[in-house]
Chains A and B, each alone.
Chain A
């Protein structure tokens, strides 16, 4: 099973709402990632978890709050977002962040987020 599952597929929220994005993998990977992607742009790294610990935070605003409850799950909690946060949010996993020679990332299909 080389699948990364993201839910929901689509999400519309108001600027005062609180919502969460979920990501799950069962490949035994110990590194998980959140990316943000705007239309016709490359994915931009937001957060990296390695062995369930936050490893990289790319200076993401605090209205985005990541959580890694266990090695298979990754959440992204959203609160008080702005319209410019509308984007495709991608989750990915890899065998091990520190395995520099490999680090092939497996991506989910993404959550299309619209902030009104």
Chain B
């Protein structure tokens, strides 16, 4: 089964609102990353948070990590139509040298 489970699976909001996506994982990790994928295209790295960090910001993105709950959240503030995409969390599992992707959240921003 996938290491990362994300919720919601789909999210539709109005432009200007904030969007929050959550990711849960099962095993110990070295870091957790978030990627964006526009329809049918490649993935783009957004942000990386290390296992010893609790919060990280990048522009309109805010990521939190709670290793005790094995969960992370991605907040996009002041959403724009261009933010419409699928968002995946990916975990780098301790002892493995590969990323495992969560199921993803499909975000739709309505103008």
Partners in one complex: yes
What is the interface of chain A, defined by CB distance below 8 A to chain B? 4, 6, 40-45, 48, 50, 55-56, 88, 90, 92, 97-98, 100-110, 112
B63 CB to nearest A CB, Å: 14
Judge whether A43 and B97 touch: CB under 8 Å. Answer: no
Cβ of A83 to closest chain B Cβ, rounded Å: 19
Chain A residues closer than 8 Å to B2, beta-carbon distance: 42
On whether the beta carbons of A101 and B50 are closer than 8 Å, the reply is yes
Query: For the complex, what is the distance from the CA of A50 to the CA of B98, rounded to whole Å?
Result: 11
Please state if A103 and B92 are interface contacts (CB–CB under 8 Å): yes
Which of B35, B97, B104 is close to A100, meaning CB atoms less than 8 Å apart? Answer: B97
Q: Which secondary structure dominates chain B's binding surface? A: strand
Assess whether B48 is interfacial by the CB under 8 Å rule: yes
With CB as the reference atom, state the residue of chain B lying closest to A103: B92
Tell me whether B30 is interfacial, beta carbon within 8 Å. yes
Interface residues on chain B, size class: 20 to 34
Report which B residues bind A (CB closer than 8 A): 2, 30-31, 33, 35, 40-45, 48, 50, 88, 92, 97-104, 106
CB atoms of B97 and A48 under 8 A apart? yes
- Inter-chain contacts of A4 with B (CB < 8 A): 42
Contact in complex: B30, A100 (CB < 8 Å)? yes
Instruction: Look across to chain B and name the residue whose beta carbon is closest to the beta carbon of A106.
Output: B45
Q: Which residues of B contact A98 (CB under 8 A)?
A: 97
Q: Can you report 29 A-B residue pairs in the complex whose CB atoms are below 8 A from each other?
A: A40-B104, A41-B104, A42-B2, A42-B88, A42-B101, A42-B104, A43-B88, A43-B101, A45-B98, A48-B97, A48-B98, A56-B97, A90-B43, A92-B43, A97-B97, A97-B98, A98-B97, A100-B97, A101-B50, A103-B99, A105-B43, A105-B99, A107-B42, A107-B44, A109-B41, A109-B42, A110-B40, A110-B41, A110-B42
Give the residue of B31, B42, B88 whose beta carbon is less than 8 angstroms from that of A101. B31
